[in-house]
Structure 1
């Protein structure tokens, strides 16, 4: 994947109105939706499914609701924003850890890891883990 493959949808989500019907006129259950798919070649459509891998309902986001809006359709192609056009920075400890593993990385993939950049302002905090160990580690000696 390349940098331009990562797109954000926050602008789009602010511009849409909660649709109650799909393109066939069937009701849409947002609370039961388990999966939402968005495709580059169909920028004004989203595909909702109430089961993982299930048959999706197609919802047209370009169609404006009837009341209280103008008749001009929305155009979503310009509402996708590129995420991290300069690449996503990682924390310095994470970069140091990756660099220590470079000898184990195959040479054809090494360039990617060598080009990673870090920011001193970022802090790793995954599920409450921020680098300090808050549990006992037992050795198998």
Structure 2
């Protein structure tokens, strides 16, 4: 993929990156799935419902500490599938089944398990959006619509992990 990116002169929109991914191999072509706003869901509500789960649907013990992989499928939103290694044996957990020891959870519906994170799209920080819009004259006209549809929020901080705006290294003045 890196080699294919080096030969591309146009990379302005997500579709441009998808095109690179799907055409970078001659054999065993990659498949790219473009996710939409509604595909991003939060699992905080679901996590609260599985706190006391100790067994899967077959009664086998679940080791949460050894769990390496958790899968959730669109066609089975009321189930989670746990595995202790990638591609290994899975334990199926029913989110609607009440765990033992007097849980207060009632059987839940899909809307109570997951919440939409950004139904209208994830906004970016307003300074970043202003910077992008100031560069629109450098972007080909057929790609500007993507950038014009971006939204910003004044109270949002950039979510670069570990970066709080302060420089964590020394800067030398070269005079």
Query: How far 1:130 moved relative to its partner?
Result: 3.6
Tell me which protein shows more helix as a share of its residues: 2
Indicate whether 1:56 and 2:90 are aligned: yes
TM-score by length of 2: 0.62
**Deviation per CA, 1:32-73, whole angstroms, max 9, x where unpaired?**
111111112112210111123433221112222344358x96
* TM-aligned CA deviation for residue 105 of structure 1: 6.8
**Residue pair 2:49, 2:95 contacting (<8 A) in 1 also:** no
* Structure showing greater relative contact order (alpha-carbon pairs closer than 8 Å, 6 or more residues apart): 1
| TM-score, normalisation: structure 1 | 0.74
- RMSD of aligned C-alpha atoms? 3.0
Per-residue Cα deviation, 1:66-121 (whole angstroms, up to 9, x for no partner): 44358x961231212111223222112322344427745793x5433221111222
Output the CA distance in 2 between the equivalents of 1:11 and 1:78. 9
- Determine the C-alpha separation between the residues in 1 that align with 2:170 and 2:90: 47
Shift of the 97–55 alpha-carbon distance from structure 1 to 2, 3 Å rule, reads farther
In structure 1, the partner of 2:153 is 119
Change (3 A) 1:60 1:106: farther
Segments of 5+ residues of structure 1 without an aligned counterpart are none
Q: For structure 2, which runs of at least 5 residues remain unmatched after alignment?
A: 1-34
1:78 has 2:111 as partner: yes
What is the number of equivalent residue pairs in this alignment? 136
Aligned to 1:41: 75
Which range is displaced more, 125-134 or 16-25? 125-134
Greater shift in the superposed pair: 124-133 or 73-82: 124-133
Q: Cα 1:126–1:43, aligned 2, differ >3 Å: closer, same or farther?
A: same
Aligned CA distance change for structure 1 residues 21 and 117 (closer, same or farther; 3 Å): same
Native 8 Å contact 1:95 1:117 kept in 2? yes
